[in-house]
Structure 1
Amino acid sequence: MNILIVDDEPLARSRLRRLLAECAVNAVVTEAASAEQARQLAASLQPDLVLLDISMPGESGLQLAEAFASSALPPALIFVTAYPEHALAAFNVHPVDYLLKPVSLSQLQRSLQRACQLNRLQQQPPKLPLVSYQQAGLQKTVPLTEVLFFAAEDKYVRMQLTEQNILLDKSLHQLEAAYPQLLRIHRQTLINPLYLTAIRQPATGPALAELENGKYKLPISRRALSAVKHALQS
């Protein structure tokens, strides 16, 4: 098991590392002194469990937890903090536990046991979302992960796949409601954030969302620009 400790206080990190050693867990333990450092380490280490402080300089532990929770395979989270007033906000990202400093050995042991227990829902493989459509009189489906974007065109919506596009007799509003994973970048366009690779700002005109490393460049409305930037950073 890979465990990442995130706390700006060296003594707090050392204490957690010592307690983990006393728990005798078979784990590789790594430390980060800030949310920024934790993001960099997590990208390469892919931690299974994160012991996370909340109040840190710069990006807070809550903000970092939201980023972890939105990843494809989020790690288990245990908040370790001196501030009980953050508990309500913390549980919005579904942590395994919320521990108050100073943490005791027995508390940490119980939290680790919870983190290692899978429930029935977690053991079931997630169902892949599918988009249904009619083609040549036949009902067909395509995984949402293969769709780059949806664009409104006259009375139809164009569903753009990697190698082809298909016209749908559905509205963008219907697609947006059915697939919350999609991101609206314009009143006429929904994109799959999985394919968002860059944002370009031409000298004139609106910003452009680049998909598939620039293969597609789609205009971004001013209202949607901040959400698109956040999606790209995530």
Structure 2
Amino acid sequence: MSVRYLIVDDEAPSRANLRLALAAHPDWLLLAECDGAAAARAALADNEVDVIFLDIQMPIESGLVLAREISRLRTPPLIVFVTAYSEHAVDAFEVHALDYLLKPLSDARLAQAVERIGAMLGQRQREAYGAALRDYVDAGITQAAQRLERINVRSVGRIEQIRVDDILWVESAGNYVELQLDGRTVLHRITLNRLEALLEPSDFLRVHRSAIVRRSQIARLETIGDGSYRLTLRCGAEVAVSERYLGALKAAM
């Protein structure tokens, strides 16, 4: 399957680096290199595009302006955001299941993005992707600290929207978290610490280095045989509680 793509970046060296890196993928066809959003709009009007590598920080018009326009399309091309933002600032990309590349470009990270794109295109998930992209641009990249309403979870080639209001508690699983819902568990690629920063503190409470619970789910706290603590939730789940978070939990109760 041929993948048709655009590179949109105001810096010529960055465009060249990405073009040369993608040359290793013979099925990928470069349609145009664009130095800004205006040139990208012209290329989009003249071509059927599968993927756009889009720089965010451009002098005349931010890449987010173009992304907002693209998100309104019924079947938008996939966007891989190219950014010099720090790791902390890309939380919003991950929670909305959007791909990104940090400058300077990593070959391993690009290969991962190429693999994900192939899976998404193969599953024909453009409409679901469009919904995730709209969530991101409507909220705005600077609003990560505001109340999060949905988490877009990406599995192999698919995106599923999870309402934050449906999450009962969250458990750490390495670089992933397990979102515990009513009757099922959903695995999402983000660390617990980074997800905690996005969740509303009035709704969720950290009780252990590996667990966050919904406050309204808190039911019973008890000491178990070895002197440690266990929290029982209204859904029936039992969650370990560490000394570090014990005071805040007792206050919440």
Per the normalisation by structure 2, the TM-score is: 0.44
TM-score by length of 1: 0.47
Compare CA radii of gyration and give the structure with the larger one: 1
